[in-house]
Copies of this chain bind each other. A is one copy, B any other.
Amino acid sequence: MKTADPELMRAINRLNVLDTVRRYGPIARVEISERTQLSTTTVSAITASLLDDGLILPRHEGDIRNEAARGRPRVMLELNPDAARVVGAKIAASRMVFVVTDFRGDVLSNLTLPIRIDRQPIGVIADLVEDGVRRCVVDAGLSLEDVDSVCLSLPGVIEHRTGHIRSSPIFRDVNVDFAAEMTARLNTSTIVESDAHAITLAHHWFGKARDLEDMVLISLEQTLGLGVLHGNQLFRGAGGLSHNLGDLVLGMGPLGIVRLSSQAGESEILGEQPAGGRFAEAIRLGRGMAHAQALIKAEDNALISAAIRAGEAVGVAVANIVTLFAPPRVILVGSSLALGEHFLASLRSAYALAIPPSLKGVAELVFDDSTDDFWAQGAAAVALYELYESPWNTTGPAL
């Protein structure tokens, strides 16, 4: 257990204030005091220190005051966008998406590389990632020295704490210390995180879970992932392990184990397509779901039944997750949502059937089809959060 000393105390309160400024910024000191339950004295001291470190700024321009406002006007504080830059990335099987954001998480530049990297050797992938990061940083008018941290998000089982990729559908090798590899290549602090966790934080910071401190997110992509937010924090399993939902067992059929991935995995939904055909080509390029959507509109029966089957499987899985975590909201994201109403309807009805009566109405189902940029922005948020936590001026006490 971590020992509680004054330093930890300050770290906690600093993070608390900083995060309050992030969430509710521009915000006056008095309001920070109200929200954090810290005394105005303490808030003043901490904000002074944060101002001194250049992490926040007083807002002068456009002092919006109420008409009837009396007394000394509030000085609004907000994050200093220029306090840091980070890179967030979503690495998927058929594309990589990079964003550079400022200290607030606002996107400065983005870059999509539509490259199929499936099962390439680690060196090739690392080359491509390195290239993407560098190009995106240049696009933002920056140099890598200006970047404080990089967070790469990928599908699979990612051990954030150690930087290892235990297993990922896009890696041929297992148990790669990708964080160390990329830190060395970029000469910039680099961390890794599950893509599901990244999009979970994205929704907590910018999306459909800003108002919640507990929720669950399920990502339906090539891999099926899970993110659990618990008390405003990502719930990382025992060893920082992420969850691989696709491995969940839905039943023991006559042919053996039926896993969720075999019903709702991207490749299983799309099925075997004749090589060289237009559909197969679309899949190879990562446009499989978009193509499937078009085919479903044209009433392709095989695809429609696959979508329905997948929806049922996911609906049951979601119900099981809700049974375990009882979150107030479940957000579903990922490319499979593009399958359309057949998929969603069967998902909803399977969920309604599978959810135990006692939990009926506890969890709200929300569907979200964000762009890949949003995922990458979430990865950036992971990097930013670690910056917020890190002690900035370890060089002696605050003045």
Contact = CB atoms under 8 A, between A and B. Distances in A.
Contacts of A323: 243-245, 247-248
Interface stretch (A141-149, A352-360, A379-387): A352-360
Interface in A260-318: 312, 316
A256 interface: yes
B320 A237 contact: no
Nearest to A15: B1
Contact of A36 (B1, B10, B174, B312): B1
Contacts of A40: none
Contacts of A354: 249, 257
The listed residue with most B CB atoms (<10 A of its CB), out of A5, A167, A247, A327, is A247
A326 B321 CA distance: 15
A6 interface: yes
A9 to B, nearest CB: 4
Q: Nearest 9 CB-CB pairs, A to B?
A: A251-B251, A247-B356, A214-B238, A4-B12, A241-B326, A4-B9, A249-B354, A3-B37, A247-B323
Interface string A160-185: 00000011000000100000000000
B226 A230 contact: no
Categorize the interface residue count of chain A: 35 or more
A151 to B, nearest CB: 22
A250 interface: yes
A16 B3 contact: yes
A4 to B, nearest CB: 4
Interface in A97-150: none
24 contacts: A1-B36, A3-B13, A4-B10, A6-B9, A9-B9, A166-B358, A214-B238, A230-B238, A237-B326, A237-B327, A238-B327, A244-B356, A245-B323, A247-B323, A247-B359, A248-B320, A249-B316, A251-B251, A251-B252, A252-B312, A252-B316, A257-B354, A259-B356, A320-B320
Interface of A: 1, 3-6, 8-10, 12-13, 16, 36-38, 157, 166-167, 174, 214, 226, 230, 232, 237-239, 241, 243-245, 247-252, 256-259, 312, 316, 319-321, 323-328, 350, 353-354, 356, 358-359
